[in-house]
C-alpha cells in the first residue's frame, strides 16, 4: 500500500524517471563533466570574487569614508545587502525542514539546491557586518567570551542578538545540509575514482547504507528538521529587530518581524527559481526539476508576495492612522521624496509583478518564471534599501535630513558578493550531488525482478 | 552626559542611526594622521579618535572631571560657573551657560526655568535632553500671545 502511493507520487512528479540506476547516472554524471557553460560562469565568479576582496581591502586601508555614507545615513548598501542575503538564506530551511515535516512531496528535487543556497547565502551575509563596521579588526568584540580586558557586549543591543541569530542559523543549516548529503556522498564515492574517491570516502563518514544506519539517519534528520524549523522564523525576526527596536521613524514598527520573515521566504523562493532554471538547463535535469516543482515554488512565491504587499500597505496605513506628523512625513518622503524610484521599484517588483503568478499559464512557463524571479530579487533588494536609506535620510530634525549615494567601492562589494555566492554555488554543483539521490529514490517505484506482464500488478 | 569609550567602539554606527538629534559624528577616515608638527594642535587632555570610531560632544568632560577632583581635594562643592566647556569659553556673544541643573540657584538652572526655554524633541519622543535652548521672541509672537 505504502509502496503503491509512493510510486504514484513519484509518477506524478517525475514521470520520466524509470529506475534507480537512472538517478545515479544522471545526478552523479553532473559531478564529472563540467561543460563550457560551467567554466564560463566559474571564471566570471572568480573575477568577481577578486573585485570583492580588492574593494574591501581598499576600504579597510582607507576607512569607511570611501563609501557614500555620511551623517545622517550611517547604514547603506552594506546593511541592505546583508539583510538581502539573510533573506535569501531563508527558503532553504523552509523547504528542507518545514516542508519535510509537512511531508510535501515536491520538495525532494529542490531541497538540496535550496539548502546549499542557504549555507552559501549565510556565508555571504555574514561577511557584510564585517565589511560594514568601522574597525573590522575589532569586530570579534561583539562575541562574548572571558578576556583580560573585561570586555563584554551589551546584551540590550539588537546587534548583539543578530550575531547570535546569524551564527546559530549558519551552524544549524550547515549541519542539516551536511547530514542530508551523507548517503548521496556514499553513492558518489562508489562511482568516483582517484582523488575524488578518497575525498568522498572521508566526508561520507563510512556510510554503507545498512538498516541500522538508515534508522539513525532518519531519526537524526527528523530531529534536526524540528530544530531548524523555529530558526526559520527566529533569524529574520531578530534581523528585523535591528530596525524595529530603534527609534527611527519608518523602522520603529511592530509589524517588522512577520513582515521580514514573509519577505525573506519570498526572496528565497524566488532565488531558488533563479538558480534552478539555469541548473536544469546546463545539467539536463529536466526530468528531475519538472513543471510541477516550479508550479509549487511559484505558488509559494505568490502567497508570500501577498503577505509582503499586505505589510507594505499596513505600514503606510499605520503611518497615516497614527496621526504622528514625523511618521507621516517619513512615509510621504518614501513614496514621493528623493528615493521615490526605489520605493516604486519595490512596490512594482514585489507587489504587482507576482500577480501574474495567479495564472496557471505563467506558472507553467519556465521562461516567465525566471523573469519574474529576477524581478522579485531586484524588488526585495530595493525593499531593504528603501527601509534603511529613506528612513535614515529623513528623520526628525530638518537640518539633519540628507541624501546618500552609493560609491563605486560599495558597488564593487555588492556585485562581488553575488560572485562570492556564485563561486561557492558552482563548486557545490561539481562536488556534491545537487539533487538528493536517496530521497528521490524514495518516491520512485521499487526496483525488482519481474516476469513479463507482472509490472502492471503493482 | 552621554559619550562613548573610543577604544571600545567597533563602529557599527547604530548609535548614530538612533540619535534623533544627529549629533554623533563618525571618523570616516584617518583624520588624526597628520605630519609633524601638525600633531601638536591636538588637545593633550583628550584621546585622539582613530579611524572607524564614533564620537560626539562630551561637554569637555576632561574639564568637568578636573574641577570635580580639585573640589574634592579642597574639601568643597564645585562652584557655579567653575566649569566652562570650550565652546562657552570662546563664545563671543556669551550665549552658552554650563552648570548643575539640579542646583536650583545655578545660572543654568535659572535659565532652564525661563519661560523661553525649550528642549528639542522632548515633547515628541520624550528624550529628556539636558540641553535647553532659549527661544527667540519676535514681535509677532508677543502680539499673538496677548490676544
pLDDT tens digit at each of 458 positions of chain A: 444 454 455 555 565 666 677 777 777 777 766 778 788 889 999 999 999 999 999 999 999 999 999 989 999 999 999 999 999 988 778 877 877 777 777 777 788 888 889 999 999 999 999 999 999 998 888 888 888 877 888 888 899 999 999 999 899 888 988 988 888 888 888 877 778 888 888 888 888 888 888 898 889 888 888 888 888 888 889 999 999 999 999 899 889 999 999 999 899 999 989 988 988 888 778 778 888 888 888 998 999 999 999 999 999 999 999 888 999 999 999 999 999 999 999 999 999 999 999 999 989 888 999 999 999 999 999 999 999 999 999 999 899 899 999 999 999 999 999 999 999 998 888 888 877 777 777 767 666 655 555 444 43
B98 or A197: which carries more pLDDT confidence?
B98
The ipTM value here is: 0.86
Beta-ladder partners of B16: none
pLDDT band of residue B143 (cuts 50, 70, 90) is low
Q: How far is CA A442 from the centre of its chain?
A: 26
- From the list A408, A452, A433, A434, the residue with the least C-alpha distance to A188 is A433
Query: A391 vs chain B: nearest CA distance in angstroms?
Result: 10
B28-37 long-range Cβ contacts below 8 angstroms, 24+ apart:
B28/A63, B28/A64, B28/A65, B28/A69, B28/A70, B29/A62, B29/A63, B29/A64, B29/A65, B30/A63
SS3 content of chain B, % helix, strand, coil (to 5): 35, 5, 60
Search chain B and give the residue with CA nearest A152: B8
Which pLDDT belongs to residue A451? Answer: 52
Which pLDDT belongs to residue A455? Answer: 47
Report the SS3 class of residue A73: strand
Does the CB of A62 have a partner CB in chain B at under 8 Å? yes
Query: B28 vs chain A: nearest CA distance in angstroms?
Result: 4
Q: What Cα–Cα distance (Å) separates residue B19 from each residue in A11, A79, A328, A337? A: 60, 18, 19, 22
A315-352 in b/e form (b: 16+ CB < 10 A) is: bbeebeeeeeebbbbbbebbeebbbeebbbbbbebbbe
B89-105 in b/e form (b: 16+ CB < 10 A) is: eeeeeeeebbbbbeeee
Query: A128 vs chain B: nearest CA distance in angstroms?
Result: 11
Which pLDDT belongs to residue A1? Answer: 42
pLDDT band of residue B33 (cuts 50, 70, 90) is confident
At B118, which helix (H) or strand (E)?
strand B117-118
> Distance between CA atoms of B15 and B9, rounded to whole angstroms?
11
Which pLDDT belongs to residue A28? Answer: 74
> Which of A71, A72, A328, A409 to probe the B interface (max B CBs under 10 A)?
A71
Query: B127 vs chain A: nearest CA distance in angstroms?
Result: 11
Which pLDDT belongs to residue B104? Answer: 92
Determine whether the interchain pair B13/A75 forms a contact, defined as Cβ–Cβ distance below 8 Å. yes
> Distance between CA atoms of B102 and B15, rounded to whole angstroms?
27
Contact residues on chain A for B52, CB-CB shorter than 8 A: 63-64, 133-135
**Residue A13 in contact with residue A104, Cβ under 8 Å?**
no
Determine whether the interchain pair B28/A70 forms a contact, defined as Cβ–Cβ distance below 8 Å. yes
> Distance between CA atoms of A387 and A321, rounded to whole angstroms?
19
DSSP state string for B22-35: ---EE--S-TT---
Within 13 Å and on the Cβ side, how many CA atoms surround A391?
Answer: 26
> Distance between CA atoms of A266 and A376, rounded to whole angstroms?
8
**For chain A, how long is the longest CA-to-CA vector?**
86
- Average pLDDT over all residues of chain B: 88
Which pLDDT belongs to residue B30? Answer: 87
> Distance between CA atoms of A267 and B131, rounded to whole angstroms?
46
Which pLDDT belongs to residue A422? Answer: 93
- Backbone phi, then psi, for B54, in 5-degree steps? -90, 150
Q: Which residues 100-129 of B are in CB contact (within 8 Å) with A? A: 120-121, 124-125
Contacts of A433 (CB under 8 A, 6+ apart): A27, A28, A30, A31, A112, A181, A184, A185, A187, A188
**Residue B101 in contact with residue B108, Cβ under 8 Å?**
yes
**Residue B20 in contact with residue A247, Cβ under 8 Å?**
yes
Q: Which residues 398-427 of A are in CB contact (within 8 Å) with B? A: 399-400
Determine whether the interchain pair A135/B121 forms a contact, defined as Cβ–Cβ distance below 8 Å. no
Amino acid at each position: 500500500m505504502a509502496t503503491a502511493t509512493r510510486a504514484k507520487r513519484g509518477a506524478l512528479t517525475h514521470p520520466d524517471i524509470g529506475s534507480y540506476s537512472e538517478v545515479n547516472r544522471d545526478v552523479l554524471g553532473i559531478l564529472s563533466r563540467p561543460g563550457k557553460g560551467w567554466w564560463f560562469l566559474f571564471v566570471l565568479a572568480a573575477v568577481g570574487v577578486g573585485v570583492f576582496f580588492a574593494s574591501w581591502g581598499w576600504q579597510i586601508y582607507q576607512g569607511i569614508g570611501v563609501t557614500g555614507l555620511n551623517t545622517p545615513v550611517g547604514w547603506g548598501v552594506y546593511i541592505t545587502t546583508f539583510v538581502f542575503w539573510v533573506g535569501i538564506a531563508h527558503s532553504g530551511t523552509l523547504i528542507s525542514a518545514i516542508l519535510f515535516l509537512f511531508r510535501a512531496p515536491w520538495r525532494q528535487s529542490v531541497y538540496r539546491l535550496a539548502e546549499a543556497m542557504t549555507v552559501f547565502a549565510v556565508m555571504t551575509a555574514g561577511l557584510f557586518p564585517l565589511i560594514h563596521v568601522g574597525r573590522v579588526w575589532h569586530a570579534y568584540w561583539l562575541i562574548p567570551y572571558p578576556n583580560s580586558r573585561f570586555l563584554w557586549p551589551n546584551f540590550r543591543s539588537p546587534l548583539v542578538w543578530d550575531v547570535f541569530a546569524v551564527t546559530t542559523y549558519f551552524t544549524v543549516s550547515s549541519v542539516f545540509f551536511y547530514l542530508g548529503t551523507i548517503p548521496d556522498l556514499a553513492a558518489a564515492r562508489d562511482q568516483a575514482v582517484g582523488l575524488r574517491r578518497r575525498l568522498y570516502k572521508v566526508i561520507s563518514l563510512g556510510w554503507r547504507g545498512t538498516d541500522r544506519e538508515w534508522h539513525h539517519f532518519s531519526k537524526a534528520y527528523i530531529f534536526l528538521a524540528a530544530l531548524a524549523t523555529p530558526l526559520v522564523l527566529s533569524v529574520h525576526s531578530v534581523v528585523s529587530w535591528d530596525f524595529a527596536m530603534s527609534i527611527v521613524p519608518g523602522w520603529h514598527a511592530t509589524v517588522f518581524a512577520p513582515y521580514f520573515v514573509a519577505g525573506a521566504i519570498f526572496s528565497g523562493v524566488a532565488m531558488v527559481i533563479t538558480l534552478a532554471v539555469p541548473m536544469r538547463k546546463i545539467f539536463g535535469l529536466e526530468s528531475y526539476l519538472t513543471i510541477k516543482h516550479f508550479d509549487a515554488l511559484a505558488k509559494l512565491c505568490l502567497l508570500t508576495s501577498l503577505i509582503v504587499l499586505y505589510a507594505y500597505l499596513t505600514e503606510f496605513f499605520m503611518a497615516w492612522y497614527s496621526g504622528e506628523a514625523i511618521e507621516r512625513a517619513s512615509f510621504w518622503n518614501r513614496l514621493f521624496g528623493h528615493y521615490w524610484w526605489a520605493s516604486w521599484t519595490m512596490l512594482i517588483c514585489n507587489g504587482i509583478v507576482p500577480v501574474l503568478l495567479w495564472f496557471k499559464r505563467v506558472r507553467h512557463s519556465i521562461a516567465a518564471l525566471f523573469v519574474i524571479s529576477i524581478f522579485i530579487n531586484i524588488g526585495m533588494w530595493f525593499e531593504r534599501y528603501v527601509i534603511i536609506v529613506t528612513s535614515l535620510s529623513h528623520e526628525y530634525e530638518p537640518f539633519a535630513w540628507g541624501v546618500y549615494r552609493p560609491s563605486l567601492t560599495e558597488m564593487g562589494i555588492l556585485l562581488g558578493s553575488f560572485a562570492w555566492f556564485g563561486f561557492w554555488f558552482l563548486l557545490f554543483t561539481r562536488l556534491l550531488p545537487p539533487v538528493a539521490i536517496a530521497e528521490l529514490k524514495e518516491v520512485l517505484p521499487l526496483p525488482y525482478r519481474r516476469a513479463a506482464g507482472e509490472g502492471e500488478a503493482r | 552626559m552621554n559619550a562613548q569609550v573610543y577604544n571600545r567602539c567597533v563602529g557599527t554606527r547604530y548609535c548614530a542611526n538612533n540619535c534623533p538629534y544627529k549629533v554623533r559624528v563618525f571618523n570616516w577616515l584617518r583624520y588624526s594622521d597628520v605630519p609633524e608638527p601638525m600633531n601638536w594642535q591636538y588637545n593633550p587632555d583628550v584621546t585622539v579618535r582613530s579611524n572607524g570610531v564614533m564620537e560626539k560632544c562630551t561637554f569637555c568632560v576632561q574639564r568637568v572631571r578636573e574641577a570635580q577632583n580639585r573640589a574634592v581635594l579642597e574639601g568643597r562643592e564645585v562652584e557655579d560657573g567653575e566649569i566652562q566647556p570650550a565652546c562657552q569659553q570662546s563664545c563671543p556673544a556669551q550665549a552658552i551657560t554650563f552648570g548643575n541643573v539640579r542646583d536650583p540657584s545655578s545660572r543654568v538652572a535659572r535659565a532652564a526655568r525661563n519661560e523661553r526655554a525649550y528642549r528639542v524633541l522632548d515633547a515628541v519622543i520624550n528624550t529628556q535632553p539636558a540641553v535647553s535652548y532659549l527661544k527667540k521672541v519676535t514681535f509677532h509672537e508677543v502680539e499673538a500671545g496677548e490676544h
